[in-house]
Structure 1
Amino acid sequence: MVAFKDLTLREGAQVPGLQISETAGRRVLTQLAELNIGRVEVAFPRAQHRESWFRYADDLGLRTAALARALPKDIDAALKVDPDEIEVIVTTSDVQLEYALGKSKDEARDLLVSNVERAIDGGVDAGVTLMDAMRADNEYLAATAHAASEAGAKHVTLADTTGAGTPDTVSETVTTVGDAVGNDVAIAIHTHDDMGVATANAVAGVDAGASAVDATVGGIGERAGNAPLEEVAVLLAERGDTTELTLDELVPVCRAVHESLGVDVPPGKSVIGNRAYRHESGMHTAAMLKEPSTYEPFDPAKYGGERELLFGKDTGRGAVRALLKNAAVEPTPDRVDETLAAIRIETAEKNGPLTESDARELVRNL
């Protein structure tokens, strides 16, 4: 079973120009609850309190996480919103240790351990995120993860903060850290899409032993975004992995989250784009009327999507023959010619292609 932690609201707050209102945040939490998301990282309380979202998520039965840097003031701010867990983060790569944190490796590890203990002393569970892990030294990562485990952390999240990882490096990193901590803590994977491989990297992490994935709806997040929840969920499901998600609601809920946030879904976006299941090519349509899997990797209905077969200027005789057969009409040459001409006339009048249902209606009326 692969678990998901959704970070749409927390990562969304870091997107330049994206302002998430109180009402929009509540709508998103309601929608995530419909997907049966196990955990939600609601906010970074030191910068954005959002206690009302935490309480609303509680009411929905969601397990809440608050983000905190490995600093006492961050931990105290997180404790004030009473989350179920605090995600304590510290960077691990040499370049970020020097230029972002200004600490040595030992100092960073000590900060992490002391603040994990501070969170636990505050009465909540704690997990840790090792930032920029794919550019860090694996030996240091393993030692830091082990120290966090000894301090009481429930899980260790390996974050590809800059999206610099590849499936190979992710696999190596997750395997190394997993071997170091054994069964003491769970391993999670957190990926960014700067090089277009966030989904592949997330799944590579699962293959290497991660039992949980950080993701955001539609990949919403700073820069190029995060691993898209819907992409990772479908990829895992199609190869046979189980998740806790309500998969038959995946497409409509993810689209609804975008609407709640006022973020457009790119038309060609995999899984949730409005062109994701649309076909107009005559060759494609003809084949799909016989067997939909010819040009689709999965049945969109499994995830709440809907296939669209369009008939228009690119429709050929093969597609029309298949359409007639499906309508129980003998596809004689004359009938095919008549139907094809009618489709082209109707398309010109509508200034656009016909849907499959419109095309079937046209056939019935000829």
Structure 2
Amino acid sequence: MILNDVTLREGEQMPDRNYTVEQKVEAGLELSELGVESLEVGFPVTGEKDREAIRTLAVEAEADIVGLARAVPGDVEAAADASADVIQVMVPTSDYQLDHVLDKDRESVLQMAREAVDLVVDHGAVPHLILVDAFRTEVEEIRTVAHEFDGVECITLADTVGARLPSGVQRLLEKLEPSVDLERFGVHFHDDLGVGTANVLTAYQAGIGKADVSVASLGERAGNSSLEEVVVGGVLEHDEDFGVETDELIPKCERVLDVLGEQDAISDRKAILGSEVTKHESGIHTAAMLNEPKTFEPFDPGDFGGERDLLFGEGTGTTGASILLSRAGVTPTDERVESFLSVLADEGPVDTEEAVSIAEANFQA
């Protein structure tokens, strides 16, 4: 399964966002260097800014550069003018979308899509389709699109309003699988129910060929499936890195957030990237983790370019204090342990290195 990063488009669709060309290009190059195979940079018909960013990245980035287009000639022309490698045509498929957004019947919309795809080909770009609200569309209708557009290399199924849980994703894909090649399909999830990452990994297990992701889940409403969560989950559960340089994952994602000015958009407790998620202070936890970090963490943050912080202070127990004294070359007698705990309570919380230095400074070996 390849990853298509949508940070630059979806992130800018959040309220009060307006990324510059320079921000999009710099962030896009970071993601391309990370090893993400495909970058959805913007919606070219909205203005020259997105066209310029796409045009620049199409030359400078290793990743395929994707421009989004509605199934109308002007959108396709704008994406082609931007020199997008891939033009992804949006096709609404659910009754909700057809009746209340477009006010068109299904056949009319499919005809618009056929003409848009033909126009993409005429311009020498690669056409992809994204089926808007696909996860609230009847399976037979999705099959119809798949068969009518059998020359399109990728059709993405969008859970546009984030309405599906992993069980629902699995059911739909199981119904599709007998008559279509799931490797030809992609998925696009939103995190409104908090299961964006789980949905992508469910789709991966089913055999889906592409998934949309975004750094720190940046995107409309609750955001999209998280790039870093999908990669870490893939490595831990399936030994699958999706082509990403895993030892650069956290630094590159943090760099993208810095470039886009989104450092404050994520919680300190955000999975993988939050400042608190690899920080430990509980006495029981830190004592055990001094000897074996796996006792209280799901992965070594160093494997993904991050750092672990063990903190010692008022909550440190006798076991942890004994280990720290030993690391300082001090024999951990009962008296020294109690004295050291008192010093830590006064000076903490401090990290492991500083705690050892305190022990060295206060006690004779």
TM-score class normalised by the smaller sequence = over 0.9
Amino acid at match of 2:122: D
Shift of 1:178: 4.0
Amino acid at match of 1:60: A
Amino acid at match of 1:259: D
Alignment counterpart, residue 216 of structure 2, candidates 206, 215, 218:
218
Distance 1:3 1:326 in 2: 45
Amino acid at match of 2:248: E
Deviates more, 1:10-19 or 1:191-200: 10-19
Q: How does 1:192-341 map to 2 (within 5 A)?
A: 192-239=190-237, 240-263=239-262, 264=264, 265-341=266-342
How many residue pairs were aligned?
357
Distance 1:97 1:322 in 2: 66
Amino acid at match of 1:154: E
Deviates more, 1:327-336 or 1:309-318: 327-336
Shift of 1:172: 2.2
Any runs of at least 4 consecutive aligned residues in structure 1 with deviations exceeding 4 A, and if so which?
none
Deviates more, 1:238-247 or 1:301-310: 238-247
Distance 1:325 1:139 in 2: 67
Distance 2:235 2:246 in 1: 9
Distance 2:221 2:135 in 1: 18
Paired residue for 2:31? 32
1:37-87 CA distance string (max 9 Å, x none) = 111111111113323212321212221111001112211111111111100
Paired residue for 1:54? 54
Contact 1:12 1:222 in 2 (8 A): yes
Shift of 1:128: 0.6
CA shift in 2, pair 1:21/1:206, >3 Å: same
Distance 1:195 1:342 in 2: 46
Contact 2:67 2:88 in 1 (8 A): yes
Contact 2:315 2:345 in 1 (8 A): no
CA shift in 2, pair 1:196/1:9, >3 Å: same
Amino acid at match of 1:52: E
Paired residue for 2:357? 361
Shift of 1:244: 0.8
Distance 1:113 1:170 in 2: 27
- Aligned identity (percent) is 37
SS of residue matched to 2:13: coil
- Structure 2: segments with no counterpart, 5+ residues: none
- Structure 1: segments with no counterpart, 5+ residues: 348-352
Distance 1:217 1:303 in 2: 14
Shift of 1:202: 0.8
Deviates more, 1:140-149 or 1:54-63: 54-63
State the superposition RMSD in angstroms: 1.5
Amino acid at match of 1:248: D
